[in-house]
């Protein structure tokens, strides 16, 4: 017997309404509404990641860390580049508000997720760069590690900061999202009389 179009529609509506309580019950059991939008899968891990810290003591310094890969893996090399600038109160004649710190004497200590020191590395100045340094390290366990950078500038001023290094932690917790502190802009502005 051929059903008319109206009959077909009525039958479909009856089927849906009959199954709605069951769908809702299942959804309620799992805690999700069937009408809630599906959560997006986390984005792919970044190839590089940057993080800036600013330390204020007698002198203000900014430390820009560039990590490759962006999210480290255990037993895999992490390449860390650090750019150190002094942030003077009065703009420097040549460098403005960010004075690169060349020829600093630095070490980087790596602490695992439990706070245990697992490596102490000499940080090397990158030739022909302004205030840029590099270090390699290979974390051996997962979790949020800490890198403690310390040393002295060429002028003898104390340098030091800490930065988190997530190892096989993705997506990042909220406090590690973004790129850290934002140092003052070094953009030249018109002179105001």
Partner 1 sequence: MKILNIASLIAATTFALPSLAAEKRAWVGDPVNGSKLFKKQCVDTGNVNGPDWCELPVDNSEHMTELRNERLYEQIKSRKGASESIPKLSMLEIWDIVAYLNTKHLSLHHFFPNAGRYLCGKYTIDKYGLKRIKKATGKKISEKTAHVFTFFDMPDEEGNLSFVPPEPLLLDELKKKYKAGYLVFLPFTTSGYNGQIGIAMDASGKIIKLSVFDNSKATKKLNSKLAQFEGQGKKGQKTQFKSKRDKKLAKKVFEAYLRAMETATMYDRDENERTWADE
The binding site for partner 1 (CB under 8 A) comprises: 75, 77, 79, 107, 117-122, 124, 126-127, 134-138, 140
CB of 150 to partner 1, least distance (A): 11
**Residue 68 vs 95, nearer CB to partner 1:** 68
**Residue 60 vs 150, nearer CB to partner 1:** 150
CB of 120 to partner 1, least distance (A): 5
**Residue 92 vs 122, nearer CB to partner 1:** 122
Per-residue three-class SS string for the chain? CCCCHHHHHHHHHHHHHHHHHHHHHHHHHHCCCCCCCCCCCCCCCCCCEEEEEEEECCCEEEEEEEEECCCECCCCCEEEEEEEEECCCCCECCCECCEECCCCEEEEEEECCCCCEEEEEEEEECCCCCCEEEEEECCCCCEEEEEEEEEECCCCCEEEEEEEEEECCCCCCHHHCCCECCCCCCCCCCCCC
**Residue 47 vs 122, nearer CB to partner 1:** 122
């Amino acid at each position: 017997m051929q059903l008319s179009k109206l009959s077909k529609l009525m039958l479909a509506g009856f089927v849906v309404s009959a199954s709605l309580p069951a769908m809702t019950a299942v959804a309620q059991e799992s805690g999700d509404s069937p009408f809630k939008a599906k959560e997006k899968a986390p984005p792919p891990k970044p190839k590089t990641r940057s993080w800036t810290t600013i330390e204020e003591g007698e002198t203000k310094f900014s430390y820009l860390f560039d990590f490759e890969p962006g999210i480290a893996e255990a037993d895999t090399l992490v390449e860390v580049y650090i750019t150190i600038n002094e942030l003077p109160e009065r703009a420097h004649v040549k460098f403005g508000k960010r004075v690169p710190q060349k020829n600093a004497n630095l070490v980087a200590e790596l602490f695992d997720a439990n706070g245990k020191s697992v490596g102490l590395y000499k940080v090397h100045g990158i030739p022909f760069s302004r205030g840029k340094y590099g270090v390699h390290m290979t974390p051996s366990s997962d979790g949020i590690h800490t890198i403690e950078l310390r040393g002295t500038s060429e002028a003898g001023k104390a340098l030091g900061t800490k930065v988190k290094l997530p190892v096989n932690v993705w997506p990042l917790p909220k406090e590690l999202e973004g790129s850290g502190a934002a140092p003052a802009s070094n953009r030249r502005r018109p002179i105001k009389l």
